[in-house]
Amino acid sequence: MQPTLSHINVFPIKSCAPLTPDHAVVEMRGLRGDRRWMIVDDAGKFITARKHPRLVLIRAVFDGASLRLGAPGMPGLRLLTQARAETSKVIVWADEVAGSTAEAQADAWISDYLGFPARFVYMADDCVRPVDPGYAHVGDQVSFADGYPLLLISQAALDDLNARLESPVPMLRFRPSLVIANTSSHAEDGWRSIRIGEVTFDVVKPCVRCVLTTVDPATGEFDPSGEPLRTLVSYRRGSRGVTFGQNLIPRGSGTIHVGDQVSIIE
């Protein structure tokens, strides 16, 4: 059968809940609106659900130039992209970039939710964060995502994993940008270049998995059994670590739709 795009996730805020549109615009940094917002501590270091799993319960919906936020036990919040926002240095892994500040009420909201001082930052259009040059072309950029513009996983890879687990897990445990149907398990491991609709992507690096896969997106809590990471270690551990899915860099722009055919170029 022809591989097809079966699911799209857009994560407006890093480590928070996704939107699941039926189409999305692919840009240089990934899907439009994806992880342009991030939460940092008072030292400017990025905060993720790896240490603060309740972040996955924060939901953001696009509302023009702003986001409407909701979270358990919290009042609604409108998160604005300020036209003349100040910038400050923020840290994402080993990268130091300029993050645009949000309004004070937004920072108070996230600090209250987490229980310690924190703030929102936005990646403006003129902020440049290069992709690792070991896997990228000169000029390639990424948002506040961990390291690459998009992450792709085949549905068959999850089906294979779930067949090994006592309790199946949803694909959201792995937070992919794109899910591909009608392939063999982990077929993406052998791809180097693909086309979805009219957009071409380089398949550049396996995604090394971590404790974030053990965070239940429905409860915002760690899985007490350590799954699915515990099972993945038994059959997906290699020289890079435990891998599941492939990172992508777009080689063009355009709109992709759920149901689009996926062509394997190389």
Give yes or no: residues 47 and 82 share one domain. yes
3-class DSSP assignment, residue 239? coil
For residue 80, name the pLDDT band (cuts at 50, 70, 90).
confident
Q: Give the C-alpha separation, 226 to 215, whole Å.
A: 9
- What is the reported pLDDT for 64? 84
Do 223 and 247 have their domain in common? yes
171 and 111 assigned to the same domain? no
Q: Which of 122, 143, 159 is the last residue of a domain?
A: 122
- What is the torsional sign of CA 34, 36, 39, 41? positive
Q: Are the beta carbons of 173 and 161 closer than 8 angstroms?
A: no
Q: pTM of the prediction?
A: 0.96
pLDDT band at 155 (very low <50, low <70, confident <90, very high): very high
Given 88, 122, 156, which residue is the final one in a domain?
A: 122
Does one domain contain both 111 and 231? no
Would the pLDDT of 115 be above 80?
yes
* 29-33, 124-128, 158-162: range with lowest mean pLDDT: 124-128
The CATH number covering residue 9 comes to 2.40.33.20
Which pLDDT band holds residue 82 (cuts at 50, 70, 90)? low
The token pair at 170 is: 């949803």
Using DSSP, state whether 233 is helix, strand or coil: helix
pLDDT at 134 over 70: yes
Among candidate residues 74, 105, 122, the one where a domain is terminated: 122
Q: In this predicted structure, what is the pLDDT of residue 65?
A: 81
Q: How confident is the model at residue 1 (pLDDT cuts 50, 70, 90)?
A: confident
Q: Tokens for 86, please give them.
A: 């100040």
- 50 and 21 within one domain: no
Instruction: Detail the DSSP E strand segments found in 55-191.
Output: 59-63, 66-70, 77-80, 87-92, 95-101, 118-122, 150-154, 178-181
Whether residue 168 is found in the same domain as residue 233:
yes
Same domain, 163 and 247: yes
My answer on whether 188 and 251 are in the same domain is yes
For the chain, how many structural domains are there in total?
A: 2
Share of the chain above pLDDT 90, in %: 93
Rounded Cα distance between 117 and 157, Å, is 39
pLDDT at position 180: 98
- The model's pLDDT over 207-266, given as tens digits with 9 standing for 90+, comes to 999 999 999 999 999 999 999 999 999 999 999 899 999 999 999 999 999 999 999 998
Q: Are residues 43 and 15 in the same domain?
A: no
Range with the poorest average pLDDT among 75-89, 129-143, 194-208: 75-89
- Mean pLDDT value of segment 14-33: 98
Q: Averaged over 23-41, what is the pLDDT?
A: 98
Q: Is 238 left (phi over 0), alpha (psi -120 to 50) or beta?
A: beta
Residues 220, 139 within the same domain: yes
| Residue of 143, 154, 169 lying closest to 30 (CA atoms) | 143
Do 233 and 144 sit in the same domain of this protein? yes
Q: What residues make up the domain containing 117?
A: 37-122
pLDDT at 83: 58
Within this chain, do residues 187 and 257 fall inside the same structural domain, yes or no?
A: yes
* Average pLDDT of every residue of the chain: 96
81-90, 106-115, 164-173, 183-192: least confident range: 81-90
Q: What is the pLDDT of residues 176-223, one digit of tens each?
A: 999 999 999 999 999 999 999 999 999 999 999 999 999 999 999 999
